[in-house]
């Protein structure tokens, strides 16, 4: 097991189990990663636990975040409590008191959470979302028509000259 306690940045840490208490790591590749009040730029692991930590990208089988932040979290299972994520992609995601930009999942359990875009086959719980699956489809159609009209008018104006 590799442990890191000082506040510095390393290029790549690769072990079976990584436990970080404070500080930052550039890139992590491990079976299990536990970060408490620290950060990582990129994490690739089977299991990831973030407790009051942050990561730019996470790619794992299972992600558990508590009072943490991630830009992109991609996993089979994501469990987030009181955390912020820009983009979450997974088979099963569970968010409690969290804020998410984009959620793409097969099944989403949401409890008092907010998202901008929510695309899921099945949604359970209370969630405030700007765009759900139908809203995203409608927004895509409207955007496509708008871009098409702009291109069409642009072609008409360029032909007249």
- Taking the mean position of all CA atoms in its chain, how far away is CA 73? 4
- Average pLDDT score, the chain: 84
Provide mean pLDDT across the span 105-132: 85
More confident residue, 19 or 36: 36
Give me the pLDDT at residue 98, please: 92
Give tens-digit pLDDT for 48-79.
999 999 999 999 999 999 999 999 999 999 99
Nearest-angstrom CA–CA distance, 57 and 33 = 13
Exposed e or buried b for every residue in 113-135, given b needs 16+ CB within 10 A? bbbebbbbeebeeebebebbeee
Confidence tier at 155 by pLDDT (50, 70, 90): confident
How many distinct helices (H) and strands (E) make up the chain? 1, 9
Tell me: pLDDT of 7 over 50: no
Confidence tier at 29 by pLDDT (50, 70, 90): confident
The structure's pTM equals 0.72
């Amino acid at each position: 097991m590799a442990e890191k306690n000082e506040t510095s940045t390393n290029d790549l840490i690769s072990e079976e189990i990584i436990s970080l208490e404070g500080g930052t790591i550039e890139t992590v590749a491990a079976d299990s990663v536990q970060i408490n009040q620290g950060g990582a730029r990129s994490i690739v692991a089977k299991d990831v636990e973030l407790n009051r930590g942050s990561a730019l990208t996470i790619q794992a089988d299972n992600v558990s975040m508590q009072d943490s932040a991630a830009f992109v979290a991609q996993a089979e299972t994501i469990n987030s409590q009181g955390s912020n994520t820009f983009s979450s992609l997974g088979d099963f995601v569970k968010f409690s008191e969290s804020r998410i930009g984009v959620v793409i999942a097969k099944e989403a359990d949401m409890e008092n959470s907010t998202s901008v875009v929510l695309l899921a086959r099945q949604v359970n719980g209370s969630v405030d979302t700007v765009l759900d699956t139908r809203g995203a489809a409608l927004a895509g159609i409207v955007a496509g028509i708008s871009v098409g009209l702009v291109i069409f008018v642009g072609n008409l104006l360029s032909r007249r000259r």
